[in-house]
Amino acid sequence: MPDHIYIKDETAKGSLICKDLCNELMQYQASKAKTVFYKMFLSGMKYENRLKPSFESAEDKQLLVTYDGDAPIGYVFSSVETVTEEKKNQRPPFANKKMKGFYPDWLTIPTKIADLGNLYIKPEYRGQGLGKELMNQAMDWLRQTQDTPYLFVYVSNGNDVSKFYESYGFKYSHDVFGGLITAYIQDHQN
Ligand SMILES: CC(C)(COP(=O)(O)OP(=O)(O)OC[C@H]1O[C@@H](n2cnc3c(N)ncnc32)[C@H](O)[C@@H]1OP(=O)(O)O)[C@@H](O)C(=O)NCCC(=O)NCCS
């Protein structure tokens, strides 16, 4: 990485710093969705209902930001949460009870899990190893979390990024809400 591009742990600073980047990521994800319905649903995702509440409610978390000089150009958010019966059954109004939610049926609850979300590099900075660098640091953090038997990552409909996560040990787990999202998982020990 050139000197003017660097990664900083901004967990203490708060998530607002990533508001614009998060909104760009949400728009990107909506643009990738394969059906009109998923596109419409994902279009409603933004900083205020995604990163902000996730950041505020996380039991443990890490927000890494990639900068070019003073300008944030990418980020990744990792967190730890306790999965309860209520959380396991959470679903948006369109999802029927047959559709799997965020967690696999076999997951014994309550349990803590760690997950990686909101990985994003601005388009003009992609393909230079910056995503990999963020991911490596996020994986180091996820792997040092305590009492989290599984690590998860979630990919929205139509976003062809599974091979990237598979190269870090994640494997397909299940379709969430009928395919709106795909869940990938790995044992913490990997
Ligand atoms: C995914 C993303 C963060 C990767 O960032 P990047 O800086 O372009 O990635 P890097 O240059 O570090 O590439 C690292 C490796 O991953 C591979 N890779 C990058 N994007 C990939 C993708 N979408 N699918 C599969 N492999 C990918 C690269 O080919 C490279 O492989 P190599 O090490 O064998 O050369 C970036 O493309 C991005 O922000 N995408 C849009 C947002 C997104 O989809 N985020 C994931 C949300 S779940």
Pairing of strands 150-156, 111-121: parallel
Least confident range from 17-26, 57-66, 89-98, 112-121: namely 89-98
Phi, psi angle pair for 20, to nearest 5°: -65, -40
Predicted confidence (pLDDT) at residue 61 exceeds the cutoff of 80: yes
- Answer whether 120 contacts ligand 1 (Cβ < 6 A): yes
Which residue puts its alpha carbon closest to atom 36 of ligand 1?
A: 121
Which residue puts its alpha carbon closest to atom 7 of ligand 1?
A: 131
Q: What percent of the chain has pLDDT over 90?
A: 91
Cα(86) to centroid of ligand 1, in Å? Answer: 34
Cα(97) to centroid of ligand 1, in Å? Answer: 34
DSSP 3: T
- Answer whether 121 contacts ligand 1 (Cβ < 6 A): yes
Q: Which residue has the higher pLDDT, 190 or 118?
A: 118
Which tokens belong to 174?
């299940």
Q: pTM of this prediction?
A: 0.96
| Cα-Cα end-to-end distance for the chain | 27
Helix ranges, 35-161 (H): 36-43, 51-57, 85-89, 130-143
Q: In this predicted structure, what is the pLDDT of residue 1?
A: 81
Q: Tens digits of per-residue pLDDT, 84-96?
A: 999 999 899 899 9
Cα(31) to centroid of ligand 1, in Å? Answer: 17
Please, what's the largest Cα pairwise distance for the chain? Answer: 51
Domain boundaries of the chain, sorted by first residue: 5-187
Spell 157-187 as b/e; 16+ CB within 10 A means b. Answer: bbbebeeebeebebeebbebbbebbbbbbbe
Q: How confident is the model at residue 190 (pLDDT cuts 50, 70, 90)?
A: low
- Answer whether 14 contacts ligand 1 (Cβ < 6 A): no
Q: What percent of the chain has pLDDT over 70?
A: 99
Helix ranges, 64-187 (H): 85-89, 130-143, 162-166
Q: In this predicted structure, what is the pLDDT of residue 2?
A: 87
The continuous run of DSSP H or E covering 6 comes out as strand 5-9
Q: Tens digits of per-residue pLDDT, 2-14?
A: 889 999 999 999 9
Q: Which of 132, 134, 163 to mutate to test the pocket of ligand 1 (most atoms within 8 A of CB)?
A: 132
Question: What is each CA distance from 7 to 29, 115, 136, 157, in whole angstroms?
Answer: 23, 20, 11, 28
Q: How confident is the model at residue 189 (pLDDT cuts 50, 70, 90)?
A: confident
Which residue puts its alpha carbon closest to atom 19 of ligand 1?
A: 164
Predicted confidence (pLDDT) at residue 43 exceeds the cutoff of 60: yes
Domain 5-187: CATH architecture, name and number where available: 3-Layer(aba) Sandwich (3.40)
Give the pLDDT mean for 155-179: 97
